[in-house]
Every structure is written in C-alpha cells, then in structure tokens.
C-alpha cells in the first residue's frame, strides 16, 4: 500500500463468507494509537436490524479496529470475533464488548483501500457539469476530487448512488474560511435525513446529494499524535472556535484550560458553532504530542450517545 495520507480509508473483512466494510479516518493517528473505534457501514447481508446509520455511528464503541503504521505504511488487524459479540449483546449492551476485549483474537485484515479519483469513474464524462459545480464551490481542482463511500466500494455508476460521497482537499486557510462561512452554496437545498438537517450536505443543480469529507492538504494537520494523560473530564463546555469543525475528526476550541475537544465521529462535522454549550461525560484527556496544536491538551470523544449532551445551540 502507498504511504499514508489524510484520506478516507476502508477495511474490507471476510467473516464466514460475509463481507464487512469498516470506515476509517485519521490514519496518521495510528503511529501511536493502535486501537481505534471502527464503524461498520456496509455488509453483504442486512447486519444491522435495530437501527440506521445514525445509530450505527453513535455506537462506535461496538467495533474496534487495530491499525499500525510501519515505515509510514498503514496495515490493519481486526477483532473478527467482535461482530458476534455485538450481535449477541445487542446495541443496548454494547459497552460489554469493552470488558471482553481480552478474549478477542487479532487477525489480519484482507484489504485496506483509500478513496478513488473522481475522473477515474466510468461515467465521469456524463457529469462534468456537476463536478464543475462542486469544484467551483469548494475552490478545488476536479482532478483532486475523490470518490469514497458505497459508490467507490461497489463500483457504482453515479446515477445509481444514493448520494455522492466526495473527498475534498483543503489547500489553504482562505479556502477553509470560505467553506466554514457558507458550508454549502446559497442556492442549494438542505438535505434532511434521520430527522435532522445536515450542515455539510446539499443538493446540486440536478438534485444529486453532495456529501463532502474534508481532508488536510498544505495547511497541515492540527492533531497527529496524542498521549493519554490518565485524566477524564466531566462538565459543561462552550465552543469558542470552530475552524477545524468540518474535518473528519472535528476539532473545536473550548472555554477550558484543556483548550480543545475532538470527536472521532463524522456525525458532528460542521455541527457545532461558536457559543454552543455541550456537556461531556467521561471524556479522556490527551496531550497533543505532534501536529499544529502540539503541547496543548484535548478531550477526545468516541461515543456520541453516552459521552455528549447538547445543552444549548446557536441555530
């Protein structure tokens, strides 16, 4: 596999003739954090019978992936048996998996793949106007737009996709500031699914749902390596700065000596604004060892449903 870059990665695993796809972000963190909270997004059979994508992502503590960075190349191992634990326990008892991790055997992952350049899609030429619209709004080159999600995994044509999951590279703070101000084109209709309006998703001129996933380009990565301090945080925080809030691990500055809070959950990308108040339960506190925010401390949240309560929002 090629050297690690910031991207959307997929781990493909075959478990008893069923294929499961794990969604993985922040690959650079795995040089010192081998254990990650993975998300099963797709499978060849209806694996999730008790909910939807919203619930799956909320319950990220159900599935753990192990990745390792050797000579700047990413490899993966996975707790294959953890899936049977999840089905036995059910979502409501997912926390029991953490208590049984010592029983899980690590096995090699079949495949890790990163996103695919949009110009390599079979029917790309039929949608040049759409990609021009997207690249113009995000101020990026069409050649740099990449496809991820089910469209990439299952080699779908664009007109067969539920939404267009795109990886968008951020090259400058000027570009980032513009996207943070608008988040979607002024003319675009909002996307409403699972009883919520999604802050970053929007309808294109031809009613395609555009779902961007932003990655770091030349501006550098704020948090590349962390070390657990042994402390946990409980309490109410106010969002002071949302500059890095649109990325796959949203990072927000907070009104606390800890300085920052980060979410290993793409569900909150672009969700919080300045002045929003959130209550944190049992958030692990880390020292940032490498990255633009080096030497600061950060609370990292993995489980949206049990660790976070939204107290007040500036809508």
pLDDT at residue 253 tops 80: yes
Distance CA 25, CA 23 (A): 7
pLDDT score for 61: 39
pLDDT score for 99: 52
Distance CA 5, CA 69 (A): 12
pLDDT score for 60: 37
What's the average model confidence in pLDDT over 49-70? Answer: 44
Residue 67 neighbours by CB under 8 Å, 6+ apart: 24, 27, 30, 34, 36, 74, 75, 76, 77
Which class is domain 116-216?
alpha beta
CATH no. of 225-312: 2.40.50.140
267 or 183, higher pLDDT: 183
173 or 265, higher pLDDT: 173
pLDDT at residue 80 tops 50: no
- Cα Rg of the chain, angstroms: 19
To the nearest whole percent, how much of the chain has pLDDT over 70? 67
Q: Exposed, middle or buried by CB within 10 Å (0-12, 13-18, 19+), for 249? A: buried
pLDDT score for 14: 63
Distance CA 214, CA 134 (A): 13
Whether residue 57 contacts residue 98, with contact meaning beta carbons closer than 8 Å, is answered with: no
pTM of the model: 0.82
pLDDT score for 58: 37
pLDDT score for 57: 39
What's the average model confidence in pLDDT over 47-55? Answer: 37
pLDDT at residue 180 tops 80: yes
Predicted confidence (pLDDT) per residue in 229-251, tens digit: 999 999 999 999 999 999 999 99
Q: What angle do CA 295, 300, 303 make, to 5 degrees?
A: 175
* DSSP string over 217-230: -TT--S-SEEEEEE
Residue extents of the structural domains in the chain: 9-114, 116-216, 225-312
What sections of the chain are H helices per DSSP?
53-58, 82-89, 96-99, 128-138, 149-153, 173-182, 304-307
CA 228 to chain centre: 21
């Amino acid at each position: 596999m090629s050297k690690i870059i910031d991207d959307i990665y997929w781990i493909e695993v075959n478990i008893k003739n069923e294929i499961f796809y794990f969604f993985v972000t922040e690959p650079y963190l795995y040089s010192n954090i081998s254990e990650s909270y993975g998300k099963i997004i797709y499978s060849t059979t209806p694996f999730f019978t008790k909910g939807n994508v919203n619930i799956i992502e909320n319950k990220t503590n159900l599935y753990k992936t192990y990745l390792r960075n050797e000579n700047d190349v990413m490899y993966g191992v996975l707790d294959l048996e953890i899936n049977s634990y999840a089905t036995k326990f059910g979502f409501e008892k997912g926390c029991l998996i953490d208590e049984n991790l010592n029983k899980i055997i690590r096995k090699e992952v079949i495949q890790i793949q990163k996103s695919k350049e949009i110009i390599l899609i079979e029917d790309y030429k039929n949608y040049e106007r759409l990609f021009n619209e997207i690249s113009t709004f995000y101020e990026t080159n069409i050649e740099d737009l990449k496809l991820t999600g089910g469209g990439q995994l299952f080699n779908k044509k664009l007109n067969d996709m539920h939404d267009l999951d795109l990886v968008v590279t951020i090259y400058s703070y000027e570009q980032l500031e513009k996207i943070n101000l608008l988040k979607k084109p002024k003319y675009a209709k909002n996307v409403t699914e699972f009883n919520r309006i999604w802050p970053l998703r929007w309808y294109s001129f031809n009613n395609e749902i555009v779902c961007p996933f932003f990655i770091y380009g030349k501006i550098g990565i704020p948090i590349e390596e962390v070390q657990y301090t042994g402390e946990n945080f409980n309490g109410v925080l106010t969002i002071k700065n949302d500059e890095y809030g649109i990325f796959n691990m949203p990072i927000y500055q907070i009104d606390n000596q800890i300085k920052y809070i980060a979410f290993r959950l793409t569900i909150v990308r672009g969700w919080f604004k300045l002045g929003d108040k959130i209550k944190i339960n049992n958030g692990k506190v880390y020292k940032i060892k490498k990255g633009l925010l080096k030497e600061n401390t950060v609370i990292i949240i993995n489980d949206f449903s049990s660790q976070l309560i939204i107290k007040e929002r500036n809508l």
